[in-house]
Amino acid sequence: MNRLLIIGVFMIGSFAWADHGHNNEMEMEAHSHEGHLHDTLVDGKQLDVDADRFDKFVAGLADTQIAIVSVNGMVCDFCARGIEKTFAKDSSVKKIDVDLNRGKVLIAYSNETAIDFDDIKKKILANGQNATDLQILIV
Amino acid sequence: MGIFLKCLFIFLIVTLEARPISYSGGSTLMSMSDNMKDSVFYHYSPTYKYSVGIEAVKDKFFNKDYSYLRFTYLLDRKNTRHSQRNLYFQSGLSPDDNGNHFFGMHGDWETRRVFVGFGYKESFNKFQDYTEKFIQTGFAPYIGDYGDLHTWLMVKSKHNSIKGDWSTYPVLKFFKGNFLIDFGYDKQTDWDIHLMYRF
């Protein structure tokens, strides 16, 4: 009986999860050159995106906004699968790419979509990771 | 003994299973086989914080077949840009009348290059109670991109209070997309195989 009580106590116990994300949205026209993609934004922030990957991602896309989301805890392909599946259910999402090396998720939205970082954070958190930053590029 | 050594000792006596909780709304089917049991385990995660599932077990040691209703809870997770750390509580209760149940803890810390995991589990039944412990560590020989075949070279040490001795053996882990397989072999404990499909 005591063992069952111990199990019960553990089942209802929980630890708080700290989520220290912040929103840094920046709109700009995007194109890449010499392996870099506009290294510095107008607000001085560095944009850390693989240019070749970005070019491949946006190829064929028009009238599109690209949300570049920085994600903490995205260290494993197997564990990041849910991110792709979650965003794929969103009808306003045209395409998604996960860049494990840089800890980025690229999401292509139609230009009419109002990109909501809080909604993105919720979707990332539903997969167990934390979205920490958002930059929006228009292609 | 210093606090560091005590913490290291506690760390070393506990095990891991690969991601016992999926993303919100995700399901996972696992098959495991080692010297003590063969099992098939399905679990569903209503949120990323916990999973519920059912496990069918063929117990090789006690020569019994039974099932567990399982509950796993994510006690703590720390995400950083380059790492993730997890601590889980796991439990199982058999609806059969043989009194099988277990509870334990397991955890892991990993980067894209290095992995360390540990676990501790106490199992109870009407024949003989026992504990299982393990530690597993390894590294990725190359860093694959999203969607690539990922490979891990690992070493696992495990101890079962019925068998007595610790056994240490190499483990290979591969995963691609929603499939994962890891397997290890030791003369003493035979094969240790784990298959997983997430959907």
Domains and CATH numbers, chain B: 3-191 (2.40.160)
pLDDT at B62: 87
Q: How far apart are CA A67 and CA B133, in angstroms?
A: 44
- Judged against a pLDDT cut of 80, whether residue A25 lies above it is answered with no
The CA distance from A94 to A77, in Å, is: 21
Is A6 a member of any domain?
no
Q: Does B188 touch chain A (CB under 8 A)?
A: no
User: With an 8 Å Cβ cutoff, is B111 touching chain A?
Assistant: yes
Model pLDDT, residue A79: 80
pLDDT in tens, B166-189: 999 999 999 999 999 999 998 877
In angstroms, rounded to a whole number, what is the distance separating the alpha carbons of residues B161 and B88? 22
Q: Nearest Cβ partner of A10 from B26, B103, B146?
A: B103
Instruction: Note the pLDDT tens digit of each residue in B91-142.
Output: 999 998 778 999 999 999 999 999 999 999 999 988 899 999 999 999 999 9
Domain that holds residue A101: 17-138
pLDDT band for position A62 (50/70/90)?
confident
Q: Which is more confident, A21 or B3?
A: B3
pLDDT number for residue B99: 84
pLDDT of residue A24: 43
Question: 3-class DSSP state for residue A119?
Answer: helix
Residue A51 has pLDDT above 70, yes or no: yes
d(CA B170, CA A76): 21
Structural domain contains residue A97: yes
Residues of A in contact with B17 (CB under 8 A): none
Check: CB of residue B97 under 8 Å from CB of residue B79: no
B194 Cβ contact list (under 8 Å, min separation 6)? B17, B18, B30, B31, B32, B33, B180, B181, B182, B183
The DSSP annotation for B64-99 comes to EEEEEEEEEEEEEEEE-SS-EEEEEEEEEE-SSTT-
A136 Cβ neighbours under 8 A, 6+ residues apart:
A25, A26, A27, A65, A66, A67, A68, A115
B180 and A CB contact within 8 Å: yes
Report chain A residues whose CB lies below 8 A from the CB of B89: 10-11, 13
Query: pTM score, two decimals?
Result: 0.79
Residue A55 lies in a domain: yes
Q: Considering only alpha carbons, which residue of chain A is nearest residue B124? A: A3
B143 against A37, higher pLDDT: B143
Q: CA neighbours within 13 Å on the CB side: how many for A80?
A: 30
pLDDT, one tens digit per residue, over B6-64 is 443 333 333 334 567 888 889 999 999 988 889 999 999 999 999 999 999 999 888 98
Question: Looking at the domain assignment, is residue A52 inside a domain?
Answer: yes
Output the DSSP codes for A87-98: HHT-TTEEEEEE
- Count CB-CB contacts under 10 A for residue B173: 21
Q: How many domains does chain A have?
A: 1
Contacts with B110 from chain A: Cβ below 8 Å: 75-76
CATH number at residue A125: 3.30.70.100
Among A8-22, A111-125, B55-69, B151-165, which stretch is predicted with the lowest mean pLDDT? A8-22
Matching residue, tokens 């028009």: A62
- Residue B198: Cβ-neighbour burial (10 angstroms; 0-12, 13-18, 19+): buried
Tell whether A2 is covered by a domain. no
- Asked whether residue A10 is domain-assigned, the answer is no
Confirm whether A8 is domain-assigned: no
Sheet holding A104-110, edge to edge: A93-99, A104-110, A64-72, A130-138
Judging contacts by C-beta atoms under 8 Å, the chain A residues touching residue B138 are none
CB pairs under 8 A between A and B: 106
Rg for chain A, CA atoms, rounded: 18
